[in-house]
Structure 1
Amino acid sequence: MALHTDLEIHKVAEELLGLSLDLVRNIPRDLKQVVGAKIRDECLQVLVLIGRANLVIDGEFKVAAGNDYNTIAYDYHTTTPGGDGRVATIMAKRGEYPAGAHSTCTYGVQPDTDFDRYQWSPAQLWEIVSDVMLGQRVTP
């Protein structure tokens, strides 16, 4: 089976993104940020949807909140948020791998791409995890 990036529809969507970026360069300055961002985001979403549509589910298992599981590096998996929409995952990494972590999120949700876990102490990180897991503010 081919990778989604090898499919003709993905190649055309990449071309569309390129054309849209060229178009955005020529939008008047007062409209560029709002209109340009919307055009770019829509084209990127097409690429995301193509990738998601071509994900191959290789088995499925459910893990209830509070339980643990093992997975291999780069094995795609999902986590369903609880009632307030937040998720906290505690991982024990067993090695370093060249491609780093990969995440997807629902269209319209902006992930925190600037977060660096090394900027906080373990106590500060645990405060956030506790807050999410208990659904309330916890102070160490």
Structure 2
Amino acid sequence: MTAELRHPRRLDDSEMATWLPVIRFVQLLPQVLDRTLKDEVGLNHARYAILVTLAGQNDGAVTMTELAHIAGLSRSRLSHALDSLEERGWVSRTSCHSDKRTLSATLTPEGREMLRTAAPVHVDQVRDLVLDPLSPEERDQLSTILDKLLPGVTAAL
């Protein structure tokens, strides 16, 4: 069936066969990662992602806007998560040097230590659930597919 003849609000059987597993995977994976991190180290996946993002900045500060974008969180969810991380001593927030109205966040030494504890748990699970079941060729294919899909999703945020 040509694209012109398909109803734009209905997926055909082949499209549904592709789409339904995608939905299931993107809904279940964060739940599983979240539960394991909480059980093993007392940290949820969103907060882990924030720590990883900050750790990747080579001890540099990241503005709230940049961090929300990178971590894929709304500003309010990010603020709530940072409150929790700051209370635990893992993150500190300061005003940016160039614009005092802009807050930035940095990873503390205690936060870096938490990340060292949590990372092996996370990495093992990512390998078990996503990487190890795939051949090297399938990993390359998945990477290529996601590289095509992510720009559209990112732009829609």
Q: TM-score, normalised by structure 1?
A: 0.25
Q: When you count helix as a share of all residues, which structure comes out higher?
A: 2
Greater relative contact order (Cα 8 A, min sep 6): structure 1 or 2? 2
Q: When you count strand as a share of all residues, which structure comes out higher?
A: 2
